[in-house]
Structure formats: structure tokens, C-alpha cells
Amino acid sequence: MFPARFAPVLFAFLISGLMSCIVTCVATLKTLGFSDQVLGTWIEAWTFSWPIAFAVILVVGPATRKFVAKLTA
């Protein structure tokens, strides 16, 4: 188990991995269709995009939470 203070970073890590996995898979399938190249191309795209998505969530996440708090009662 991780200490509670790591919850925001752990959340960002997991959600960025999941979202980048799904988005790169869909984009790769749309571009290449079901071909022999899909798996390798998708894994390459995912490993490239995950660190970027993680950094973006860490940077943009707090501002987004504040914005959502203003939009909700």
C-alpha cells in the first residue's frame, strides 16, 4: 500500500496509463486497421504518449479540479 499523500500522483499515473492506452489503441486501429503492424505500432505509440499524458495530468489536474469545483454546487 502507498501512503495517502501519494494518492494524486498514483491517480495521475493510473489514469494517464489507461487513457493513453485506449486512445492510442483506437487511433492506431483507425489508421492501420487490423493488420500485422497494429500491435507493435500501438505499443510504440503508447510508450511514447504515456509519460506525456502523465506530465499533463500532473500539471493540469489541479487547475481542472478547481474549475470543476466552480462549475458545481
Task: Give me the pLDDT at residue 73, please.
Answer: 82
Please tell me the distance from the alpha carbon of residue 65 to that of residue 27, in angstroms, as a whole number: 27
Q: Mean pLDDT, to the nearest integer, of 16-27?
A: 98
- Residue 39 within a domain: yes
Task: Give me the pLDDT at residue 60, please.
Answer: 96
Q: What integer best gives the mean pLDDT of the chain?
A: 96
- Residue 50 within a domain: yes
Q: Mean pLDDT, to the nearest integer, of 38-50?
A: 97
- Residue 12 within a domain: no
- Under 8 Å between Cβ of 44 and 24: no
**Whole domain around residue 39: which residue ranges?**
18-67
pLDDT in tens, 47-73: 999 999 999 999 999 999 999 999 998
Number of domains in the chain: 1
